[in-house]
Structure 1
Amino acid sequence: MKIGVIAANGKSGKLITEEAVNRNLDVTAIVRNENKTIAKQSIIKDIFELTTEDLTQFDVVIDAFGEFREDKLHLHQDTIQHLSDILSNTNTRLIVVGGAGSLYVDEQLETQLYNTPDFPDAYKPLSTAQGKALDDLRKRDDVRWTFVSPAAEFIADGKRSGDYILAGEKLTLNSKGESKISYADFAIALIDEATEGNHVQERISVVSK
């Protein structure tokens, strides 16, 4: 399997790339500048310069792009639109690293986490932007996309346990009543989905056991 990881130099992207390489997959880091990952192959391009030809060599493209500056949050939608357009009507899967804020907290799937009273104001703009990007993906029946949301507490330096719970649109708690996952375990779940999963045109979520 050939996998391309966009934004492979980022915190999440690096661990996803490492997980894929350690499973002996054919991995290419797609980065704007110097490749700082363990992947031996790279494409050095800005995300908006990527073409259909660049990406259709891969079975799966993992989009680990992230932007946290408030005046740049529109890039979540802009990058998704660009990637969707160049992968339109191709066989290449697009797996997007999403956020937890757009997960639903009710059985009716009407109330999203970022609209609940206790959701931190500081994270609401980012979560809203990621939610809009997911809304845009839902409109695309011409792209083989999967949007993967981490748990509410996404721990950059957390341990790699190797265990996780695969869930869907609803915020899911583990046996301890927690919604948390490490970046390392999230990377495992993402590569599992890339190699074994088939949640095409779906949003899934993962939480630690």
Structure 2
Amino acid sequence: MMTKKIAVVAANGRAGSLIVEEAVRRGFDVTAIVRGENRTAAQNSVIKDALELTTEDLAGFDAVVDAVGGWTPETIPAITDAGIHLADVLVGTDVRLLVVGGAGSLFVNPEHTVTVDMGPDFPDDWKPLSAAAGKVLAHLRETDGLKWTFVSPAADFQADGERTGEYILAGEEFTLNGRGESTLSYADYAIAMVDEIESGDHVAQRISVVSK
């Protein structure tokens, strides 16, 4: 099998760095796209802002992972801006775009009309973050000629959680594990993301991941 060649945008972040680590562990040829010094295990690096990336910059990769995050009012808009920009520059190419998404846009009813972030218990502080990721998902759904996959984590997404090597792969609906929990470590999320890059099973789909 040919070595997978992937790029991880915002690779120095918490999710991005673990995705890089998992991909390198499996023998992928990984390029970290970062705004400053590469602090990851990636073999290669490109120092460039996500919004400045061009179609030519991303040519030749099998997949590009959008791991751009934000936690403050100043940085949250970057989630939407980067996701939409990467989608637009990859339209019409064979390069897959995999987006580190959020749980807030998962559906809680069979009709797919109500999402997690509409619930009364959803924290107000999280709503801008959920909305930013939701805008990216909406743009992906509306974009033709793009090989995208949006990967939503569990509601309790644990940066320092254990790498168990196991997870439940679900779809558009909010899913609980056998203990009635929606939890997931960043490390297990990275495994699921790299599994999806390897399999290519969910092009033009949103999937979700929860711990076993």
Which interval holds the TM-score relative to the shorter structure?
A: over 0.9
The superposition leaves residues 121-148 of structure 1 with CA deviations (integer Å, 9 ceiling, x where unpaired) of 1111111111111111110112111000
1:103–1:169 contact (8 Å) kept in structure 2 = yes
Q: Give 1:91's aligned amino acid.
A: D
Q: Secondary structure at the match of 2:209?
A: strand
1:62–1:97 contact (8 Å) kept in structure 2 = yes
Structure 2: 5+ residue stretches without partners: none
The equivalent position to 1:106 in structure 2, one of 94, 104, 109, is 109
Q: Does 1:50 align with 2:53?
A: yes
Match of 1:167 in 2: 170
After TM superposition, give the deviation of residue 78 of structure 1 in Å.
1.6
1:51–1:86 contact (8 Å) kept in structure 2 = yes
Q: Give 2:187's aligned amino acid.
A: A
Match of 1:10 in 2: 13
The equivalent position to 1:41 in structure 2, one of 36, 41, 44, is 44
> Structure 2: how far apart are the matches of 1:182 and 1:47?
25
Aligned ranges for residues 19-168 of structure 1 at < 5 Å? 19-168=22-171
Q: Give 2:164's aligned amino acid.
A: S
Task: Tell which deviates more after alignment, 72-81 or 138-147.
Answer: 72-81
After TM superposition, give the deviation of residue 72 of structure 1 in Å.
3.8
CA RMSD of aligned residues (A): 0.9
Q: Secondary structure at the match of 1:141?
A: coil
> Structure 1: how far apart are the matches of 2:128 and 2:89?
27
2:29–2:43 contact (8 Å) kept in structure 1 = no
> Structure 2: how far apart are the matches of 1:181 and 1:33?
29
> Structure 2: how far apart are the matches of 1:75 and 1:7?
11
> Structure 2: how far apart are the matches of 1:178 and 1:23?
29
After TM superposition, give the deviation of residue 162 of structure 1 in Å.
0.5
Q: Give 1:8's aligned amino acid.
A: A
> Structure 2: how far apart are the matches of 1:90 and 1:55?
10
Normalising by structure 2, report the TM-score: 0.96
After TM superposition, give the deviation of residue 71 of structure 1 in Å.
3.8
Identity %: 58
> Structure 2: how far apart are the matches of 1:73 and 1:19?
26
Match of 1:176 in 2: 179
Structure 1: 5+ residue stretches without partners: none
> Structure 2: how far apart are the matches of 1:14 and 1:81?
22
Normalising by structure 1, report the TM-score: 0.97
Q: Give 1:162's aligned amino acid.
A: G
Task: Tell which deviates more after alignment, 191-200 or 64-73.
Answer: 64-73
> Structure 2: how far apart are the matches of 1:132 and 1:181?
23
Q: Secondary structure at the match of 1:70?
A: coil
After TM superposition, give the deviation of residue 74 of structure 1 in Å.
2.7
After TM superposition, give the deviation of residue 69 of structure 1 in Å.
1.7
